[in-house]
């Protein structure tokens, strides 16, 4: 088969939105309508390109399809010759690219209505398209360096779009800020925070990449498995270390413990941005990276057992994060923050599945479970965020206490959000049920019962906070001003209605999808020479039972408290001091956030100020000024040679000629 | 056969026709006429060269007149001459388009002579790369030299231009004479002037006379290449010329000297027989260090750029010297020599684009601000965003900021210099090279910072963006810088084939 057309599609799918981003400022000169629709058009083109890749999944192709070129090819320069760029198409990248492109397009359409009339729209469209381009580059590139380019590109866009309302206006407090005092932050602060926190992970990741480059000698995903086996035995212990370091990057990007604190505050950005970047796509990059390294780590673990620690780390970090964030979501006072905690928690689920998968011979359950959950989550969480954007728009506040009884006024939003929330809770037959099932069975078949238990408890909490959110927003007494609240415009509700419907449709065809994914991936991953897999045993009834039980256990109190409003939860906590203490502990994010500020952020700033006034001003600057004035002095002295007098010049020339002649005649070439 | 030399004849023919048609253009009041005519000539010449470059590489020799050896005048076409001709012609085209508007804005007269000289200048340079024997080479060499003397003192009403032109004429003539003496010695030794015949007869040692000739050729062509201490004409001559001519002089004319040196040294004298590598490395290192030190405190933007051209010649000569040194002392490490030469040849292209672009941008500033003084140009970037963006790309390319192509060419030379870690000469030269690159990056960025980001100097407030016709060549050159970065591999492949001609 000629692979070039497919590879070209892969290149185009990220280059087109990149062109769109670069054209945005020019289109803005033509007119606002042209700019807005132009931006949406380019994201549509990106989607068109990736959709054309989808048939590959059904075709009988030899995975992976790989095409690239060497940027620099020079004989005599062995290291330079390795610098190249290429696109890698395999089931993982094709599925990821389609999730990204399709959801991006829907969110771009939503933005037409949601962002209408905002003064900074040129910046908005630029960064949105730039984000889509970088995200697609991230998932389609064939080596770690090119992936890193996309990785940092999406990070930049995340920073710029979280701080989109960078004026930090006090009047917009109810809209644009995030958190309540003492943890209330303005948008520009949140953008910076996201950037700084992910930096820790990225640094570790770059260190890991450097170790791989120097030990394995290649960073190409297609070569890492094979070339890793040739690493001399003395250097082999470095490989698991490199994997763990790269995992650091994934942890930062996907907001896992201990680098999770940036994501809840990233909600200061527009809701469309939260939906696209901080729910559906960018935060999944870490999961994608782990899935990408999965076969490599698995293959290496055959000869280096320490590589299994990678999977243990992934699993435990995922499990603990899933629980912690779910518990925080249960007490949050802001609509979008509930969703943000829930995102962190659900990504923890995906990580948990991947990690557990790597620990069993039947790794396919965990792998597919994680990807399937990723797909489901992208769909329903995007729907939830987009709908929450409409609600915040309508209510004029991001706080749950300012909402309530909206069911009557915003029926389409209500049903969309309800469907998406049910998918999140994992109610059969919604998509979430099936993927949660796979995730939990992966932990069981790995024999990690503690992790399974954490997963079930998290499911209870998930059901609780999802229903709590629905109850607080749509049920209860409508507030006075709610009468003026009305449904969002069509361009806004269409995307999230589609996504909500999609979460149901995926659920209806889930068994088929699951089977298809398992077939594709077991064929593909076996190709990369991983030991033969035993077929999964008969599906036990333990997992679905546990999952549904968890759903019921979590939903009943939430239904009573927030939908039926049988009792006032505030009253309950005020009566029991211990409950109130727990609530506050959860609300303050286990005091992790405060801890980071106290122990890392503020001391670093103080240290920086000290170094600036003490070291930089007094030592470095003086050295630099001395250096530059020395350079100027030398320059001024030397340039006196140029007198401008021709005679001097010719004499200089003559002396030079004489010396050269002497060298040649005496030295005798 | 003769068709492959069409570009050369297009330029020479156009030069003649310009003189005829310019009065006609002037009579109908179409003052841009000859500029457009010259630009079209350059464009077609470039087009022909481009078509030739896309064909599979080959070497063609064509005898103009005379029987076989000893005295014959002949032309050749190989990938190396094609590569350089394209660079020359490209910069010529940019300068010519730029001149259309520039010369009118500057109220220059005698445009027919101007374009005639520009065309013969580029034709002379192309001829040098196309020559297949020393006789032809020297004829075209003088065509180039005389055209450039005249262009430097084109503003004959200006005291500065006349003095600069005179210096250039005198010093360059000395250089030409030295080269001629070297060639004459070779003729006396071997009785022929054709490169192939010379190479054959010089393959056995010829003693002192050959060494003397070698030294004379290095010095002679070195004057045009502006190696220290034969460079002192350049800081006067390049700024004095009209700006598009400065771009051509600094961007490509000095490279003709490099080519003539490279070709005679590698093709006629073999580097494995004659140990000129160390001397070239010494010259290169001295040249770049001296020029880089002097450039820092220049206050005239054109002099600033002119000095930095000398430094860049130093980089190129060092690359060539490293290659010669390796071929002489480590004959098995031919890959390292290839890498150094690739870097040197690639740097010729990068510097031509970057420096041509920087000079043309500086011209825009000078036209608008009516000053060449950096202190008066400070902060002009805010008023001329398009020009300044192009200027930035050119300076970053010159400074060798990754991923731009200027970074790669320097990196190749440096990595060749580090390839044999046991060799002290190469290591020392490379260390100095790296230090120089650091200093150069510093002053390029400083220049850009002063022009683009500083607070506006007094009286800069009413400055407009440069006219469209002057911006077009800037955009073309800036786009070329970026395009070459993207298409690094094809360009490098072409240089490799060109190198095979040199190394045989």
Asked if B237 reaches chain A (Cβ–Cβ under 8 Å), the answer is no
CB contact under 8 A, B171 and A649: yes
Among A26-30, A324-328, A402-406, A503-507, the minimum mean pLDDT is found in A402-406
Mutate to test the interface with B, among A84, A634, A664 (most CBs of B within 10 A): A664
Cβ burial A89-114 (10 Å sphere, 16+ → b, else e): bbbbbbbbbbbbbbbbbbbbbbbbbb
A14 to chain B, closest Cα gap in Å: 16
Q: Given a cut of 60, is residue A532 above it in pLDDT?
A: no
> How many domains does chain B divide into?
1
Determine the pLDDT at residue B458: 62
What are the distances in angstroms from CA A220 to CA A94, A144, A285, A342, A499? 18, 7, 18, 34, 35
Nearest one of B170, B175, B310 to B239, comparing CA atoms: B310
- Chain A neighbours among B 405-434 (CB < 8 Å)? 408, 411-412, 415-416, 419
Q: What is the mean pLDDT of chain B?
A: 90
Which contiguous run of DSSP H or E holds residue A346? helix A335-358
DSSP notation for B427-472: HHHHHHHHHHHHHHHHHHHHHHIIIIISPPPTT-TTPPPPPHHHHH
Q: Is residue B173 part of a domain?
A: no
Contact by Cβ (8 Å): B161, B241: yes
Q: What is the pLDDT of residues B183-226, one digit of tens each?
A: 999 998 888 888 888 888 887 766 788 888 999 999 999 999 99
Q: Given a cut of 60, is residue A375 above it in pLDDT?
A: yes
Mean pLDDT of A641-668: 86
d(CA B33, CA B24): 9
CB contact under 8 A, B211 and A642: no
**pLDDT band at residue A74 using 50, 70 and 90 as cut-offs:** low
Q: Given a cut of 70, is residue A139 above it in pLDDT?
A: yes
Q: Report chain B's terminal Cα–Cα distance, integer Å.
A: 23
d(CA B15, CA B120): 6
Mean pLDDT of A633-657: 88
- Chain A neighbours among B 152-191 (CB < 8 Å)? 166-167, 170-171, 174, 178
Query: How many whole angstroms from its chain centre is CA A432?
Result: 20
Determine the pLDDT at residue A444: 87
Among A454-463, B55-64, B420-429, the minimum mean pLDDT is found in B55-64
d(CA A457, CA A455): 6
CA closest to A648 among chain B residues: B232
For residue A362 the two structure tokens come to 């039947």
Q: Given a cut of 90, is residue A247 above it in pLDDT?
A: yes
Q: Could you give the count of Cα atoms lying within 13 Å of B206 in the half-sphere of its Cβ?
A: 22
d(CA B140, CA B204): 29
B192 to chain A, closest Cα gap in Å: 22
Mean pLDDT of A578-593: 87
DSSP notation for B162-206: HHHHHHHHHHHHHHHHHHHHHHHHHHHHHS--BHHHHHHHHTS--
Asked if B439 reaches chain A (Cβ–Cβ under 8 Å), the answer is yes
Determine the pLDDT at residue A491: 84
A115 to chain B, closest Cα gap in Å: 30
Domain assignments of chain A as residue spans, ordered by start:
1-142, 143-167+185-587, 595-667
Q: Is residue B317 part of a domain?
A: yes
Task: Select the more confidently predicted residue: B211 or B479.
Answer: B479
Asked if B110 reaches chain A (Cβ–Cβ under 8 Å), the answer is no
Which of B223, B276, B336 is opposite residue A76, by nearest beta carbon? B336
Which of A69, A639, A652 is opposite residue B229, by nearest beta carbon? A652
Determine the pLDDT at residue A73: 65
Q: Is the pTM of this model over 0.90?
A: no
Q: Report chain A's terminal Cα–Cα distance, integer Å.
A: 60
Residues of A in contact with B298 (CB under 8 A): 639
Q: Given a cut of 50, is residue B328 above it in pLDDT?
A: yes
d(CA A150, CA A18): 11
Q: What is the mean pLDDT of chain A?
A: 87
Determine the pLDDT at residue A78: 55
Determine the pLDDT at residue B69: 59
Nearest one of B160, B158, B178 to B168, comparing CA atoms: B160
Determine the pLDDT at residue A320: 94
Asked if B82 reaches chain A (Cβ–Cβ under 8 Å), the answer is no
d(CA A418, CA A410): 12
Residue with tokens 């397009």: A105
Determine the pLDDT at residue A526: 67
* SS3 state of residue A185: strand
CB contact under 8 A, A74 and B218: no
CA closest to A627 among chain B residues: B439
For residue A431 the two structure tokens come to 């998509």
Q: Is residue B123 part of a domain?
A: no
CB contact under 8 A, A652 and B170: no
Mean pLDDT of A273-286: 90
Q: Is residue B443 part of a domain?
A: yes
Nearest one of A264, A393, A379, A274 to A333, comparing CA atoms: A264
Mutate to test the interface with A, among B210, B211, B237 (most CBs of A within 10 A): B211
Burial class of residue A401, CB neighbours in 10 A (0-12, 13-18, 19+): exposed
Q: Given a cut of 80, is residue A527 above it in pLDDT?
A: no
CA closest to A643 among chain B residues: B232
Q: What is the DSSP letter of B68?
A: S
Determine the pLDDT at residue B444: 94
Q: What is the pLDDT of residues B94-106, one digit of tens each?
A: 999 999 999 998 8
Query: What share of chain B has pLDDT > 70, as a percent?
Result: 97
Task: Select the more confidently predicted residue: B3 or A94.
Answer: A94
Tell me chain A's radius of gyration from C-alpha atoms: 28
For A512, other C-beta atoms within 10 Å of its C-beta total 9
Mean pLDDT of A602-629: 91
A636 to chain B, closest Cα gap in Å: 7
Q: Is residue B487 part of a domain?
A: yes
Which of A639, A649, A652 is opposite residue B167, by nearest beta carbon? A649
Determine the pLDDT at residue A531: 44
B19 phi and psi angles, rounded to 5 deg: -60, -35
Q: Is residue B334 part of a domain?
A: yes
Contact by Cβ (8 Å): A136, A13: yes
Q: What is the pLDDT of residues B56-74, one digit of tens each?
A: 887 888 877 666 656 678 8
Determine the pLDDT at residue A481: 58
Among A222-231, B95-104, B467-476, B477-486, the minimum mean pLDDT is found in A222-231
B17 phi and psi angles, rounded to 5 deg: -65, -35
Residue with tokens 């394995």: A216
The C-alpha angle with vertex B353 and arms to B352 and B358, in degrees rounded to 5, equals: 100
Mean pLDDT of A548-556: 90
CB contact under 8 A, A635 and B294: yes
CA closest to B484 among chain A residues: A71
Determine the pLDDT at residue A81: 59
Alpha helices in A614-645 (DSSP H): 621-638
d(CA B291, CA B308): 6
Determine the pLDDT at residue A483: 59
Mean pLDDT of B274-282: 90
Determine the pLDDT at residue B144: 95
Determine the pLDDT at residue A77: 57
CA closest to A646 among chain B residues: B167
Contact by Cβ (8 Å): A335, A406: no
B43 to chain A, closest Cα gap in Å: 29
Q: Which residues contact A217 (CB under 8 A, 6 or more apart)?
A: A82, A227
CB contact under 8 A, B335 and A69: no
Nearest one of B35, B41, B100 to B471, comparing CA atoms: B100
Contact by Cβ (8 Å): A187, A162: yes
State the greatest distance between any 2 C-alpha atoms of chain A, in Å, as a whole number: 108
Peptide bond connecting B403 to the previous residue in cis, omega within 30 degrees of 0: yes
Asked if B492 reaches chain A (Cβ–Cβ under 8 Å), the answer is yes
Q: What is the pLDDT of residues A83-117, one digit of tens each?
A: 678 899 988 999 999 999 999 999 999 998 888 88
CB contact under 8 A, B211 and A75: no
Contact by Cβ (8 Å): B84, B348: yes
Determine the pLDDT at residue A533: 45
* Residue B149 β-bridge partners: none
Residues of A in contact with B231 (CB under 8 A): none
DSSP notation for A60-111: ---SPEEEEEES---TT-TTGGG-EEEEEESHHHHHHHHHHHHHHHHHHHHH
* Residue A89 β-bridge partners: A65
Which of A632, A655, A665 is opposite residue B211, by nearest beta carbon? A665
**pLDDT band at residue B114 using 50, 70 and 90 as cut-offs:** very high
Determine the pLDDT at residue B148: 94
**pLDDT band at residue B457 using 50, 70 and 90 as cut-offs:** low
Mean pLDDT of B333-352: 93
Which structural domain, as residue segments, surrounds residue B365? 274-504
Q: What is the pLDDT of residues A150-199, one digit of tens each?
A: 999 999 999 999 989 888 888 777 778 888 888 888 889 999 999 999 99
């Amino acid at each position: 088969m000629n692979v070039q057309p497919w590879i070209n599609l892969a290149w185009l799918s990220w280059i087109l939105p990149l062109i769109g981003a670069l054209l945005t400022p020019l289109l803005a000169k033509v007119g606002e309508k042209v700019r807005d629709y132009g931006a949406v058009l380019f994201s549509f083109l990106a989607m068109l390109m990736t959709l054309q890749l989808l048939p590959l999944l059904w075709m009988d192709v030899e995975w992976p399809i790989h095409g690239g070129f060497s940027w620099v090819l020079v004989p005599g320069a062995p290291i330079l010759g390795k610098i190249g760029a290429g696109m890698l198409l395999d089931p993982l990248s094709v599925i990821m690219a389609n999730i990204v492109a399709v959801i991006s397009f829907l969110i771009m359409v939503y933005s037409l209505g949601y962002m209408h009339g905002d003064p900074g729209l040129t910046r908005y469209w630029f960064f949105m398209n730039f984000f889509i381009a970088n995200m697609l580059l991230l998932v389609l590139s064939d080596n770690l360096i090119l992936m890193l380019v996309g990785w940092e590109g999406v990070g930049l866009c995340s920073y710029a779009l979280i701080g989109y309302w960078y004026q930090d206006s006090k009047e917009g407090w109810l809209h644009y800020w995030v958190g309540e005092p003492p943890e209330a932050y303005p948008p520009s602060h949140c953008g910076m925070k996201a950037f700084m926190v992910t930096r820790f992970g990225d640094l570790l990741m770059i260190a890991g990449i450097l170790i791989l480059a120097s030990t394995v000698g290649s960073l190409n995903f297609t070569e890492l498995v094979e070339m890793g086996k040739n690493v001399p035995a003395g250097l082999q212990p470095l490989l698991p270390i490199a994997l763990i370091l790269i995992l650091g990057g994934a942890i930062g990007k996907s907001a896992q413990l201990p680098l999770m604190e940036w994501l809840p505050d990233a909600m200061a950005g527009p809701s469309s941005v939260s939906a696209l970047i901080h729910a559906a796509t960018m935060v999944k990059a870490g999961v994608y990276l782990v899935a990408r390294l999965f076969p490599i780590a698995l293959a290496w673990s055959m000869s280096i057992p320490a590589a299994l620690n990678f999977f243990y780390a992934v699993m435990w970090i995922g499990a603990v994060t899933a629980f912690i964030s779910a518990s925080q979501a249960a007490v949050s006072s802001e609509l979008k923050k509930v969703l943000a905690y829930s995102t962190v928690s659900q990504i923890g689920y995906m990580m948990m599945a991947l990690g557990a998968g790597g620990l069993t011979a039947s790794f396919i359950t965990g792998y597919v479970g994680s990807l399937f959950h990723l797909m489901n989550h992208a769909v329903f969480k995007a729907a939830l965020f987009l709908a929450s954007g409409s609600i915040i728009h309508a209510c004029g506040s991001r706080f749950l206490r300012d909402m309530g009884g909206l069911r009557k006024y915003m029926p389409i939003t209500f049903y969309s959000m309800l469907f998406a929330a049910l998918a999140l809770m994992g109610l059969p037959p919604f998509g979430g049920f099936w993927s949660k099932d796979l995730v939990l069975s992966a932990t069981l078949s790995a024999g990690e019962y503690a992790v399974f238990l954490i997963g079930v408890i998290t499911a209870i909490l998930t059901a609780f906070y999802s229903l709590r959110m629905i109850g607080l927003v749509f049920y209860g007494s409508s507030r006075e001003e709610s009468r003026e609240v009305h449904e969002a415009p069509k361009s806004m509700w269409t995307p999230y209605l589609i996504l909500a419907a999609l979460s149901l449709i995926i659920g209806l065809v889930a068994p088929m999808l699951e089977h298809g994914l398992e077939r594709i991936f077991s064929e593909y991953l076996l190709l990369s020479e991983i030991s033969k897999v035993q077929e999964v045993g008969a599906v036990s009834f333990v997992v679905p039972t546990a999952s549904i039980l968890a759903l019921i256990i979590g939903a009943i109190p939430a239904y009573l408290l927030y939908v039926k409003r049988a009792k006032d939860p505030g009253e309950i906590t005020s009566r029991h001091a211990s409950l109130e203490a727990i609530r506050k502990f959860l609300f303050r994010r286990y005091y992790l956030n405060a801890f980071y500020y106290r122990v890392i952020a503020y001391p670093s700033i103080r240290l920086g100020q000290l170094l600036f006034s003490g070291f930089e001003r007094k030592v470095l600057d003086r050295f630099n000024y001395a250096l530059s004035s020395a350079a100027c002095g030398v320059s001024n002295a030397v340039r006196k040679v140029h007198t401008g007098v021709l005679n001097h010049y010719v004499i200089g020339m003559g002396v030079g000629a004489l010396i050269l002649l002497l060298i040649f005649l005496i030295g005798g070439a | 056969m003769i068709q492959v030399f069409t570009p050369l004849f297009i330029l020479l023919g156009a030069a003649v026709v310009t003189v005829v048609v310019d009065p006609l253009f002037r009579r109908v009041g179409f003052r841009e006429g000859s500029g457009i005519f010259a630009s079209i000539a350059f464009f077609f010449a470039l087009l022909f060269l481009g078509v030739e470059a896309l064909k599979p590489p080959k070497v063609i020799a064509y005898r103009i007149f005379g029987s076989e050896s000893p005295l014959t005048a002949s032309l050749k076409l190989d990938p190396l001459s094609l590569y350089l001709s394209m660079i020359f012609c490209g910069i010529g085209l940019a300068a010519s388009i730029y001149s259309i508007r520039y010369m009118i804005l500057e109220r220059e007269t005698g445009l027919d002579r101007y374009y005639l000289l520009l065309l013969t200048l580029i034709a002379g340079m192309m001829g040098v790369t196309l020559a297949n024997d020393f006789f032809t080479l020297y004829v075209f060499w003088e065509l180039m030299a005389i055209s450039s003397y005249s262009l430097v003192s084109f503003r004959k009403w200006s005291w500065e231009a006349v003095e600069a032109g005179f210096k250039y004429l005198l010093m360059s003539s000395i250089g030409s004479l030295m080269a001629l003496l070297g060639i004459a010695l070779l003729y006396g030794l071997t009785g022929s002037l054709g490169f192939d015949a010379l190479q054959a007869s010089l393959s056995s040692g010829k003693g002192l006379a050959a060494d003397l000739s070698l030294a004379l050729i290095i010095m002679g062509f070195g004057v045009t290449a502006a190696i220290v201490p034969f460079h002192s004409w350049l800081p006067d001559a390049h700024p004095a010329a009209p700006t598009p001519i400065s771009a051509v002089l600094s961007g490509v004319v000095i490279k003709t000297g490099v080519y003539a040196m490279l070709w005679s040294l590698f093709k006629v004298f073999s580097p494995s027989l004659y140990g000129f590598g160390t001397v070239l490395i010494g010259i290169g290192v001295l040249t770049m260090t001296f020029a880089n030190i002097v450039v820092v405190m220049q206050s005239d933007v054109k002099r600033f750029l002119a000095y930095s051209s000398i430094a860049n010649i130093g980089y190129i000569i060092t690359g060539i010297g490293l290659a010669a040194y390796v071929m002489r002392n480590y004959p098995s490490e031919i890959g390292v020599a290839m890498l150094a030469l690739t870097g040197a040849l690639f740097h010729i292209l990068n510097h031509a684009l970057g420096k041509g672009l920087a000079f043309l941008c500086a011209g825009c500033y000078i036209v608008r601000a009516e000053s060449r003084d950096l202190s008066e140009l400070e902060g002009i970037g805010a008023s001329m965003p398009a020009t300044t963006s192009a200027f930035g790309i050119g300076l970053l390319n010159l400074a060798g900021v990754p991923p731009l192509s200027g970074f790669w060419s320097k990196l190749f030379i440096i990595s060749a210099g580090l390839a044999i870690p046991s060799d002290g000469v190469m290591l020392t030269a490379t260390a100095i090279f790296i230090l120089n690159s650091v200093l150069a990056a510093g002053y390029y960025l400083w220049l850009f910072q002063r022009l683009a980001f500083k607070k506006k100097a007094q009286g800069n407030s009413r400055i407009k963006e440069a006219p469209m016709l002057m911006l077009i060549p800037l955009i073309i050159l800036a786009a070329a810088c970026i395009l070459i970065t993207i298409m690094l591999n094809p360009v490098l492949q072409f240089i490799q084939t060109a190198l095979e001609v040199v190394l045989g």
